Structure 1
Amino acid sequence: MKAQIVYDKPCRIRFRCGSNAFTKELERSIHKLVMSNTWAIACEAHYENGGILIRYKEGHRAEAVKLVRNLRGSDLAPVSDNQYDTEEIDRTFKSDLAKLVMQRYIRKAILPAPIGAALIVYSGLKYIAKGVSALFDGKLTVEVLDGASISACLIQKNYNTAGTVMFLLSVSGLLEDYTRARTRAALTDSLAIKADQVWLAGKDADTLIPMSQLQVDDCIRVRTGSVIPVDGQITEGEAYINEASMTGEPLAVMKSAGASVFAGTVVEEGSVVIKVRKLSSDTKISKIIELIDNSENLKAGVQSKAERLADSIVPYSFLAFGLTLLFTRNVTKAVSVLMVDYSCAIKLSTPIAVISAIKEAADDDVTVKGGKYLEEYALADSIVFDKTGTLTNAEPVLEKVIALGDYSEAETLKIAACLEEHFPHSVARAIVKGAADRDIDHAEEHAEVQYIVAHGISTTLHGKRAIIGSRHFVCEDEGIEITDEQQAEIDEKSGACSVVYLAVGDKLTGALCISDPPRPEAEEAVKQLKEAGITNIVMLTGDSAKAAEITAQKLGISDFRAQVLPEDKHRYVQQLKEHGHRVIMVGDGINDAPALAAANVSVAMSDASDIAKETADITVRGADLTQLAAIRQLSEKLMHRINSNYRFILLFNSVLLLSGAFGLLQPSASALLHNASTMAICAKSMTPLEDKKRKKKNK
């Protein structure tokens, strides 16, 4: 690709390739290609003039130049890159805002007064039409007041004031469109299955094809380490599939022919052929993205309240206008009253404050799907935690080995590791790692290992049958006797751990205690939440009551529920709400989805399943639970700012209204002060809620 360097500074270079070098569809292809290099920091591509701007790490200018010079438009294929969508939305917003400002001030500076006035009259007609339409519908809304204010200015030939009012209204509409587009793009990027190509299974050989060519009923092969990109059914092979993205559980599940699989799950070990049932555009995750895209219910309640308040003030504005005209017989004084529009400041400052808070949260690695969730978070008095994967890391470790019968602890662990080393699930890894940490060589001669799905493992070791797994598998399925004395010893020593049972030669040999320890910061997070005003903190878990009690005590949680099912979690959250509580639910998997949906506001951590992330209203992209308290502080400060804005707007504009009614202010002065105060309150609403220097110091 012929590229001319038009800007060349350290770590920043801009190329101009010409207007026909590539199409708009290939902008994101170039972006993705550049960003696939470790030296690339940022890239922008613009098809209009063939411009490519690259920011690179120091010392990598030659690589950037070489890449662009070797680009060929014919070699670039359109790709889906949601991160590029987000950047494009940001650029478009900045461009549109700049155009509004330029149109406003360039027209005033360049155009003759008659032409400028004519353009303002033309632009004002659409606002007047909206107001008239609302009146015909029997509604006295802010649109009516906007239309009346602009009409009054035009009638008095006060074109400058009319232009200012319309400029502010245009900025408000632009902000609303930007927020909706930005939110959807961010959500789509976090939820989408990022697979551009798949292996189409054939009789003689597999063929690599683009995802766009895949059809329903095609068969694709997915191997170890790959993400399953579609919903479908296994037709050949078997594999351990990590379904944490669907279930939230850390254990991989063996699946073979006939089993259903879902997009977003991962093949940990093995290879399977999958018959496509639903394409990526029609999977469960994609449907949720579509629902989010179509949702109009993401506004904060306080934002909706602001709009209703603005509408409710409209009749009083007209009443004040009429009374002033009636008692003073002075049109100028009456118009001065009409120029004081509470709605502009209220309708602009509230969404700006919410948008700024959401952006501030995003800068701190917290994704908030809508303003109303920050409001609910600020008002909540209860928080409910799922234990596994939320308060813990879902990374099991071997805590203890309990030897029973004729085997020592070392021998028991050696046999267990020998059996478990063949399987990649997390409990097996914990046992194998536990043996390695204790310098136990677990090489043993045994027959082929058989895995019984969801139960355990069996084999033949030194001529004896050896089995390892759950109590149900060992005792009930395999008929191994566990005496009351043995069970009592296991219960006493296992504490808060889960137990894996080992039997050799039809006798219980030992038990292995597996723990899933709390996150290091979990105790501090609980403490901070209490200090932040969360009075009711609850832990829900499927563990035994004893294990749950020990974990709760470690973390300083006084209320917990053990051995709960997904429907129990949902029921408990509903009960809290019925008793007047406002509930935050923090969960990590599809098993938490009912409870997440039932809560007033739901949260997922970065290492939660994809399904938990798309179900949750707020996602913490880091792995620090103390962020939950930080979100509380941010949300409370947002509510305080909005309420203080209300008070200022009502007080200041009421003073203006009275000043206009008593003839202390002319319409032009009234409009100027009103618009100046509106811009000032909006500027204040855009400032950070948190002290960045203090936050850095605390970190």
Structure 2
Amino acid sequence: MTVYKYGSGLVLEYRGSRAALLNALQRLEVLDLCQDPGDIGIAPEERELFDVFYEAALRRALTHTLLPPVVRAPVTLIKSLPFIPPALRALRQRRLTVEVLDATAIVVSQLMGDFSTASSIIFLLNLGEDLEGWVETRSRERLEGSLSFLSHSAWVITESGGLKETAIADVRVGDHVSVTSGRGIPLDGEVLRGRGMVNESTLTGEPLAVPKTVGDAVYASTVVENGELTLRVTSLATESRISQIVRLMTGGENFQSPRQRLNQTRADAVVAYNFLGAAITYALTRSVTRALLFLLVDISCVLKISTPIVVMTAMRQMGDQQVLIKGGRFVEEFAQADTFVFDKTGTLTTTRPLVMDVLTFGGFSREEVIRYAACLEEHYYHPIGHAVVEQADRENIPHDEMHGELTYIVSHGIQSEIDGKRTVIGSRHFVIEDEGVPITAEQEAVIAEQAQRYNLLYFSIDQQLAGVFCIDAPLRPNARQVMDTLRAQGKHLVMLTGDQQARAGELAAELGIEEVHSEVFPEDKHLFVQQQQRRGRRVVMVGDGINDSAALHAADIAVVMAESADLAQQVADVVILSNDLGALTELGHMSRGLERRLTGLYTGIIGVNGGLLALGLFNVLPGNLLALLHNASTIGFSLYSLGDLEVERFALPNEGESLPASEMRERPPEKGSSTA
């Protein structure tokens, strides 16, 4: 049951007949709801920006406008007390901060008997604090909600010993869940079987994986880097874990953009000039009122309020376009990147490649090859392996557990045993060269013909080549247009792939990518990114799988698709939830729009408040009106900061670029197989 405070209502979840439900509701008493408060959830309170201003205005009316003058002074005095301790602490540390400026303006105004001005200053400062709190809360809410992408489902072990992919909401405490290498742990649990290395950096901040074995506790949102674990689910409540992740993210420097940090530094630096201006004005005019103008027009306050709002607005706009950004820094710095490095499979191509043909050898049937291969590949996330599993499902070929312990070798493949015979599936390098599986000239001729068109997945049983899967991954919609746009903006485009040179070169030429490196390993991708950075380049890495995780972590900005492996999503700075490469150009436009907004905002704040100071110093405006106009401008700049950023947008045509996902799933595979 969930209680909605503002709506004065509640929602009950009930399983049973409609008649029984109506009968129960008729007999329901209010006191019955309090019998077991542990079953009652409180719906989150949606506090919009209007509420912030409304509550502030209401407090202002109750404590100032509606109070008689004789009461206003002591109320203002009491409300000013919380501003004094922070200022004293800063002075003891010999620092002139915004807190010192605020406290000085409030105290001097009251000493002059101008309680109205002091009250206005307090109102503005409290409003600014409320606005900052609202921005931070909305930022955390958006991040907490977005982190649900780490685990949509879990592989639950059934009573028969098989595996069933189950939605997180349907998993229950006590269920046994299997988690393999590279996958996220979906729920808190205890290890029942297996051993593995678990990356808990989302919870602890420590980058090194820790060993987990039978009896150890594991937590949701962490990732198994190596090994395989069977867990008993101990808790369905992951919110506290997600909150820890958000605190870790927002506590770091990445959450603030460079301009945001610069403006906050400028805000503190401006304080000294406020005091200097006040001192010079008093020395020249001997007027405390004019000197006070420099304390009333607090430029630092509006800078600190408006800048984070602009950054949050940019993140919100990208969120509306299904792009999750884990920090303001990545929005602002995206346009400054000059090198874009792309993985191929699952990044430039779709994550749902198709099995176009199956070559069988050694007397094995097509059905046997697909069954054996699918029962191995279903345990590990990789687009090519997933195509094999989907092909088995499409042809209604059962692939129940029939293998021994699985070993996954990154960038190579999987090895196991079936009926006591060594079974290997993976790249040609892994199966033919590393494992030494023999291949005849006749087999080579058949395979070479297909290698010109498809990616090949080799499968052997007992040191005998049993089959080769011919797999094709269509380009993502808009891939060509996105590459053209980035190239027109002067970006250097690179493709890194483990695919063969001929296939990789053909795709790179089709997309207009200038530099391509094929048959590379994960460590090669990581090294390449570091080499580019040593040359002074700012690198955006766009990847999708476990193989890309090290390179993603090293890049200045790491971008992945929502379909990517959990480990890749964890280290990424930007997640494209729509799986649309066009988001890269949109993010570039937003980055430039953010820069324009922040520059214009800073110029406007300095210009408006500088003009107010001039009007006050030349006696054009009295102090009270000056404070009122300054306060109004602060609110105005804050509201302006909340407005959508103006960005260049254009529709990227996608007709003819690649087959839509819906059609890909419906397109029948090429039937028949070649046998040698």
TM-score, normalised on structure 1? 0.71
Describe the shift of the 1:581–1:163 C-alpha distance in structure 2 as closer, same or farther (beyond 3 A).
farther
Aligned to 1:222: 177
1:580 aligns with 2:540: no
1:91 aligns with 2:47: yes
Distance 2:613 2:306 in 1: 20
The alignment partner of 1:658 has SS state of helix
1:312 aligns with 2:269: yes
Distance 1:617 1:503 in 2: 39
Task: Supply the RMSD in Å over aligned alpha carbons.
Answer: 5.1
Aligned to 1:341: 298
The alignment partner of 2:125 has SS state of helix
Distance 1:67 1:186 in 2: 38
Do the aligned partners of 2:352 and 2:386 also contact (CA within 8 Å) in 1?
no
Aligned to 1:58: none
Per the TM alignment, residue 173 of structure 1 is displaced from its structure 2 partner at its CA by 1.8
Aligned to 2:485: 528
Q: 2:450 aligns with which of 477, 493, 510?
A: 493
Aligned to 2:474: 517
Per the TM alignment, residue 596 of structure 1 is displaced from its structure 2 partner at its CA by 2.8
Distance 1:475 1:200 in 2: 34
Q: Specify the code of the residue in structure 1 equivalent to 2:193.
A: T
Distance 1:80 1:366 in 2: 34
Per the TM alignment, residue 650 of structure 1 is displaced from its structure 2 partner at its CA by 1.6
Describe the shift of the 1:604–1:503 C-alpha distance in structure 2 as closer, same or farther (beyond 3 A).
closer
Distance 2:373 2:303 in 1: 64
Do the aligned partners of 1:228 and 1:264 also contact (CA within 8 Å) in 2?
yes
Q: 1:608 aligns with which of 541, 544, 564?
A: 564
Describe the shift of the 1:660–1:677 C-alpha distance in structure 2 as closer, same or farther (beyond 3 A).
same
Q: Specify the code of the residue in structure 1 equivalent to 2:556.
A: N
Aligned to 2:672: none
Do the aligned partners of 1:383 and 1:585 also contact (CA within 8 Å) in 2?
yes
My pick for the range that moved more, 349-358 or 635-644, is 349-358
Alignment of 1:153-552 (within 5 A): 153-191=109-147, 221-222=176-177, 229-230=187-188, 233-235=191-193, 274=231, 288-289=245-246, 291-292=248-249, 294-295=251-252, 298-400=255-357, 413=366, 416-417=369-370, 419-420=372-373, 425=378, 430=387, 455=414, 469-470=425-426, 471=428, 475=432, 480-483=437-440, 486-487=443-444, 490-495=447-452, 497-501=454-458, 511-531=468-488, 533=489, 535-552=491-508
Distance 1:591 1:258 in 2: 30
Distance 1:302 1:527 in 2: 29
Per the TM alignment, residue 103 of structure 1 is displaced from its structure 2 partner at its CA by 0.6
Describe the shift of the 1:231–1:292 C-alpha distance in structure 2 as closer, same or farther (beyond 3 A).
farther
Aligned to 1:630: 586
Distance 1:354 1:682 in 2: 12
Deviation track 1:96-128 (CA, whole Å, cap 9, x = no partner) reads 553222111233332111212221222223224
Distance 1:601 1:334 in 2: 47
Do the aligned partners of 1:585 and 1:595 also contact (CA within 8 Å) in 2?
yes
Alignment of 1:27-66 (within 5 A): 29-30=1-2, 44-45=4-5, 51-52=8-9
The alignment partner of 2:525 has SS state of helix
My pick for the range that moved more, 275-284 or 133-142, is 275-284
Distance 2:634 2:618 in 1: 22
Do the aligned partners of 2:176 and 2:233 also contact (CA within 8 Å) in 1?
no
Do the aligned partners of 2:544 and 2:560 also contact (CA within 8 Å) in 1?
yes
The percent of aligned pairs where both chains have the same amino acid is 32
Aligned to 1:18: none
Per the TM alignment, residue 644 of structure 1 is displaced from its structure 2 partner at its CA by 0.8
Deviation track 1:526-574 (CA, whole Å, cap 9, x = no partner) reads 233334x361222222223333223322333222333333333333222
The alignment partner of 2:633 has SS state of helix
Per the TM alignment, residue 513 of structure 1 is displaced from its structure 2 partner at its CA by 1.6
The alignment partner of 1:581 has SS state of coil
Per the TM alignment, residue 412 of structure 1 is displaced from its structure 2 partner at its CA by 6.7
Aligned to 1:208: none
Do the aligned partners of 2:299 and 2:605 also contact (CA within 8 Å) in 1?
yes
1:113 aligns with 2:73: no
Describe the shift of the 1:414–1:128 C-alpha distance in structure 2 as closer, same or farther (beyond 3 A).
closer
Q: Specify the code of the residue in structure 2 equivalent to 1:30.
A: T
The alignment partner of 1:91 has SS state of coil
Aligned to 1:73: 33
Q: Specify the code of the residue in structure 1 equivalent to 2:139.
A: T
Do the aligned partners of 2:542 and 2:560 also contact (CA within 8 Å) in 1?
yes
Please, which runs of 5 or more residues in structure 1 have no aligned partner?
A: 1-28, 32-43, 56-60, 203-210, 239-244, 246-255
Distance 1:488 1:348 in 2: 69
Distance 2:337 2:147 in 1: 27
Describe the shift of the 1:170–1:436 C-alpha distance in structure 2 as closer, same or farther (beyond 3 A).
closer
The alignment partner of 1:379 has SS state of coil
Q: Specify the code of the residue in structure 1 equivalent to 2:176.
A: R
Do the aligned partners of 2:351 and 2:563 also contact (CA within 8 Å) in 1?
no
TM-score, normalised on structure 2? 0.73
Q: Specify the code of the residue in structure 1 equivalent to 2:33.
A: G
Do the aligned partners of 2:178 and 2:229 also contact (CA within 8 Å) in 1?
yes
Distance 1:490 1:153 in 2: 87
Distance 1:283 1:669 in 2: 48
Q: Specify the code of the residue in structure 1 equivalent to 2:447.
A: I
Q: 2:607 aligns with which of 651, 654, 668?
A: 651
Per the TM alignment, residue 684 of structure 1 is displaced from its structure 2 partner at its CA by 1.5
Aligned length: 601
Describe the shift of the 1:367–1:511 C-alpha distance in structure 2 as closer, same or farther (beyond 3 A).
closer
Per the TM alignment, residue 592 of structure 1 is displaced from its structure 2 partner at its CA by 3.1
Per the TM alignment, residue 483 of structure 1 is displaced from its structure 2 partner at its CA by 3.8
Distance 2:71 2:577 in 1: 53
My pick for the range that moved more, 305-314 or 355-364, is 355-364
Distance 2:40 2:126 in 1: 31
Q: 2:631 aligns with which of 660, 671, 675?
A: 675
Distance 2:463 2:369 in 1: 15
Distance 1:311 1:681 in 2: 19
Do the aligned partners of 1:221 and 1:272 also contact (CA within 8 Å) in 2?
no
Describe the shift of the 1:596–1:232 C-alpha distance in structure 2 as closer, same or farther (beyond 3 A).
farther
Describe the shift of the 1:660–1:457 C-alpha distance in structure 2 as closer, same or farther (beyond 3 A).
closer
Do the aligned partners of 1:232 and 1:274 also contact (CA within 8 Å) in 2?
yes
Do the aligned partners of 2:257 and 2:329 also contact (CA within 8 Å) in 1?
yes
Do the aligned partners of 1:603 and 1:618 also contact (CA within 8 Å) in 2?
yes
1:558 aligns with 2:514: yes
Deviation track 1:167-192 (CA, whole Å, cap 9, x = no partner) reads 22222222333333333343334436
Distance 1:188 1:322 in 2: 48
